[in-house]
Structure 1
């Protein structure tokens, strides 16, 4: 096991998710943002590249998305957190209680052969919420407000580091809608590291805000830590 050394209120751990959750008492976290494996092979094995041959991002073939998590994972997740937002909830309907509160991420992907959207089960008693943000190869949304508009400057596109990566804009929206700056947030598989990056900017350690996340894959972990360090560096002062 190894541990990154980001700011004090951000913990990024190279650790198994069940071992991490076992460290914490019941309902320690205000909320868990998680994106577990769906069991559909989107792990770089069958999905080795995305997009055209000219622009495809290559991922190391792996085996982690062979089947969904066991019931014990969902039970432990609900033990340590008061609320949960679980991406891929439609794949786990036999493991989660009924919920009226769902989040839909509309990828605005037009004629792409990829899914039009992803669904997240939530523990909130609320109406369905939709977040629109283009995410199809080199076509990415311009901003949270203009997610349906393609970013014109490809240099501003987010670098793809993980085969099931979710954009920073999505996590920023989730923090703003479902969190407060003093919340304690859990992520049991941060993948690209985007949940940690947005936690850094949203959570306030002086108020008790805290993020705890882990990833068991060494390659993903190292890439996420490197991106976190790059994305959270203070801008140089202009003299």
Structure 2
């Protein structure tokens, strides 16, 4: 386990971690659960002809969605939730919401999904975040994510087959978190939710990741993080 200031990363099973916290301990939970569609590194690699593609270690964790108990514990320990892939988990969430988040990947005419959806517990209208994320094509910043930043050497490194960009988590914290919040991520993968929590300055962030390779990579990235994501000027 690493504890860097208010950021706690645990190399443990998510259910074991969740069961150790009292009811409504966290102000916000931001899970990016496995969807059960096989995007776990066997065939999902970063793509693009501008540089050598990243080859991920084949895994087998995305063969089925989480069991109901995971969702029950998540709702027990958190006051608010932003659940990525919520459209895959309607039968387990069991709560209607008008407050969906749409991440528009601005990926053009590729074969990849045009967007990803997140169910939220917030009483609001739907919100759209536009940030280009297709292989080597990445957005400039959270305000100009629909524009590709030109220097590929400045691209965020792809470390996880289902990685979400740091810019997305920065936007989430700015929109839905407060400095006094306690935040929970039950499977942080690349570690980007932890890095941006550190940069944003939440009161406490707790994340767990059972895979030792992902955990070690995320710890290294967090320890190297000193400044927020650069803002690229046009």
TM-score (norm 1): 0.92
* 2:136–2:152 CA contact under 8 A, matched in 1: yes
Q: Secondary structure at the match of 2:79?
A: strand
Deviations 1:40-83 (A, max 9, x none): 00000132x22146531100000000000011111100000000
CA distance, structure 1, for counterparts of residue 96 and residue 70 of structure 2: 17
- Structure 2: segments with no counterpart, 5+ residues: 229-234
Q: Secondary structure at the match of 1:31?
A: strand
* 2:46–2:158 CA contact under 8 A, matched in 1: no
1:154-173 aligned at under 5 Å gives the runs 154-173=152-171
Alignment coverage as a number of residue pairs? 226
1:204-219 aligned at under 5 Å gives the runs 204=202, 209-219=203-213
User: Cα offset for 1:5?
Assistant: 3.7
Runs of 4+ residues over 3 Å off in structure 1: none
Match in the other structure for 1:237: none
CA distance, structure 2, for counterparts of residue 164 and residue 116 of structure 1: 15
Deviations 1:129-149 (A, max 9, x none): 000000000000000010000
Match in the other structure for 1:109: 107
Q: Secondary structure at the match of 1:211?
A: strand
Match in the other structure for 1:36: 33
Match in the other structure for 1:183: 181
1:75 maps to 2:72: yes
Match in the other structure for 2:129: 131
User: Cα offset for 1:203?
Assistant: 2.2
- Match for 2:54 among 57, 62, 81? 57
CA distance, structure 2, for counterparts of residue 75 and residue 183 of structure 1: 21
- Structure 1: segments with no counterpart, 5+ residues: 235-239
Match in the other structure for 2:222: 228
* 2:48–2:136 CA contact under 8 A, matched in 1: no
Q: Secondary structure at the match of 1:196?
A: helix
CA distance, structure 1, for counterparts of residue 13 and residue 47 of structure 2: 31
Match in the other structure for 1:95: 92
CA distance, structure 2, for counterparts of residue 117 and residue 126 of structure 1: 20
User: Cα offset for 1:175?
Assistant: 0.2
Match in the other structure for 1:140: 138
Deviations 1:80-114 (A, max 9, x none): 00000000000001111111110000000001110
CA distance, structure 2, for counterparts of residue 200 and residue 155 of structure 1: 24
Deviations 1:177-204 (A, max 9, x none): 0000000000000000001111111125
